[in-house]
Structures are given as C-alpha cells and as structure tokens.
Amino acid sequence: MNPTLFLNGQRVDAREARVPALDRGFLYGDGVFEVLRAYRGIPFALEEHLGRLRASATALGMSLPAPISRLRTEVALALDAAGLPDAHVRVLITRGLGDLGVAPANVRDATRMVVVTPLAPSAQNPYRDGVRAMAVRVPWRAAKGPLAGAKTLNYLANIQWLREARARGFDDAIVLGDGDVLLEGATANVFVVHGDTVTTPPLDAGVLAGLTRGFVLAQAAGAGVRAKEAPVSFADLWTADEVFLTSSVREVVPVVMIDEHEVGDGAPGRVTRALHRAYRALTPAAGSPMPWDD
C-alpha cells in the first residue's frame, strides 16, 4: 500500500515526493526522526515522541522547522488521510540545505516529513514464539559518542548489526558494549528478568531513552514486578529467566534465544507478558486481544 506522506506541510503522493539532492539529510544523515504507532487511528504518546524529536534536534544543534503544534496537526492530517486503524507514523526532520562541506554553514530549508504506513504483516508471530537474537559486541562510545541518546537519521551501525544478524539466521541483534555490558537492541531497548525483578541498562550507558522502556518501567510495580535501571552484565543476560525488547512499533517482544543459548525455558515468559499487558493498557488498544493470541 502506498504510504501517506506530508512533505513540508503538503500532502504529496509518496511516489512523487521529492527532496533536494543537496539536503544534508541525504548527504550526511544530518537530521532526526521519530517512529510511533497509531491504534484505532489514534497516535500513542505523540507528545512524548515530539518532545524527544525536539531533544534530538537540540542535541544536533538544530531547531525544529515548525512548531510542535504544527507537527501534531500534520500527524493528525496524515492519519486521517491514511484512514488506517493501526499504523506506523514516522516524523522526520533534516537540517536542510547549506554549503556543501560537512560543517553546517548557511543552513536553510529544512525538510520535514510525516509518513503513515500500515503495520507490516508478518508471517511469524514474535509475541507467541519469541525472537532469536544475535549478540553483537561494539565499542559503543566510539560508535555514537554523546549522540547515543539522540534519535538521529544515522542508523548505519544499527543497519549493520541487523544485516549481520539476518545473514546468520537471527531475527534481531542485542548490543553489548565495553566489558560486555548490555546496551540495547538494534531498534529497541532490552530488559532482563530474574524472578520477579526486571532490569534494563541505565540511560547513562549511552542508550536511547526509549519511550516504551519508560512506560514499562513505570507500569512494572502495578503489574507486581520490581523494576531496576542498572548495569546488566553478560552473566546477567545469560542467567536471565526471560529477556525482552521494547519499542514503540513492536511494544514488548520476548527473546527466546541469544546466539545458541536458550533464554529461560526457551518460550515467552510470564513477566514479559504481564508487562506487555500493562503497557497495552496505556494505549488506545487497551482491552483488545493480546497479539500472541492472534
């Protein structure tokens, strides 16, 4: 299905949409973005996503080319035009045109785009069966440095991790930094469960402040789960009863295998599901069947 696209405030046929070839987003990945989910046509956590978009832009020394209220309106217009009950919404801003060098100079005409696409159908049900992840070791600070917490357009490292994982027959990648401490997934945050305690790496480890991560941490107590933000060692990962990924698009996804090592009993766990239910309860899809029952 053709995505519904608003480019600089105008609805444009996605096949015809044009961005200047010298836009710094295209030349250097110089920009920021957000991906969120709409349930029953209603975007979930839109304000939080737009807030993070602004924070990511600030981290790059960019200002948003349109006020948040305008972006909010464009998301609503795009969702209306798409008419999809469940959808992905991507909001993207580039630094725009400027002198051709790497250092931003004479910058103007930022590009902004809102794209709505249907949720990709999948032959597998990761909620029912779990996913298999490959552990990737990276010198993380060297890879992303102070921008590790910003959602920038530069996803090359993440793309490489996923390419390698897929090439080896895995579904996903889990990233370990210096000293083999757990960081995050290629497009998700990671949680490990020991008994009734769930732990996720702290933000100062250099991970994205995932909004789903934040919601899951906040909901844990109500679901009878103790939640901690603390360093997670390789041993903690290997001895975990359950491991799961969180992201706005995929919500909460059980990991049942890391490399050749089975996680827990090799099936999606009780705590993962309890936290997924608690997360769902916050969304406009509250009360609908959980996706492992699909």
CA distance 155 to 52: 17
Does 184 engage in binding with ligand PLP (CB under 6 A)? yes
For residue 170, what are its two tokens?
A: 């895995």
Which residue's structure tokens are 């020394």? 61
Window contacting ligand PLP (CB under 6 A); options: 5-13, 118-126, 221-229, 243-251: 243-251
Does 183 engage in binding with ligand PLP (CB under 6 A)? no
Does 4 engage in binding with ligand PLP (CB under 6 A)? no
- Residues in 15-74 that interact with ligand PLP by CB under 6 A: 35
Task: Residue 134: count other Cβ atoms within 10 Å of its Cβ.
Answer: 23
Does 251 engage in binding with ligand PLP (CB under 6 A)? no
Nearer to ligand PLP, 6 or 215 (CB): 215
Contact pick of 126, 201, 210, 269 for ligand PLP (by CB under 6 A): 210
Nearer to ligand PLP, 94 or 158 (CB): 158
Does 253 engage in binding with ligand PLP (CB under 6 A)? no
Contact pick of 56, 111, 212, 219 for ligand PLP (by CB under 6 A): 212
Window contacting ligand PLP (CB under 6 A); options: 92-100, 181-189, 254-262, 279-287: 181-189
Least CB distance from residue 267 to ligand PLP, whole Å?
24
Does 213 engage in binding with ligand PLP (CB under 6 A)? yes
Nearer to ligand PLP, 117 or 246 (CB): 246
The site for ligand PLP, by CB under 6 A, has a size of 14
Which residue's structure tokens are 């044009």? 18
Nearer to ligand PLP, 97 or 278 (CB): 278
Does 187 engage in binding with ligand PLP (CB under 6 A)? yes
Binding pattern to ligand PLP, positions 139-178, x when CB under 6 A? -------------------x--------------------
Contact pick of 117, 199, 200, 246 for ligand PLP (by CB under 6 A): 246
CA proximity to 7, closest of 79, 93, 106: 93
Does 242 engage in binding with ligand PLP (CB under 6 A)? no
Does 283 engage in binding with ligand PLP (CB under 6 A)? no
Residues 197-232 as b/e (b if ≥16 CB within 10 A, e otherwise) read ebbbbebebbbbebbbbbbbbebbeebebebeeeeb
Window contacting ligand PLP (CB under 6 A); options: 13-21, 63-71, 209-217, 224-232: 209-217
Nearer to ligand PLP, 53 or 97 (CB): 53
Residues that bind ligand PLP (CB under 6 A): 35, 158, 184, 187-189, 208, 210-213, 246-248
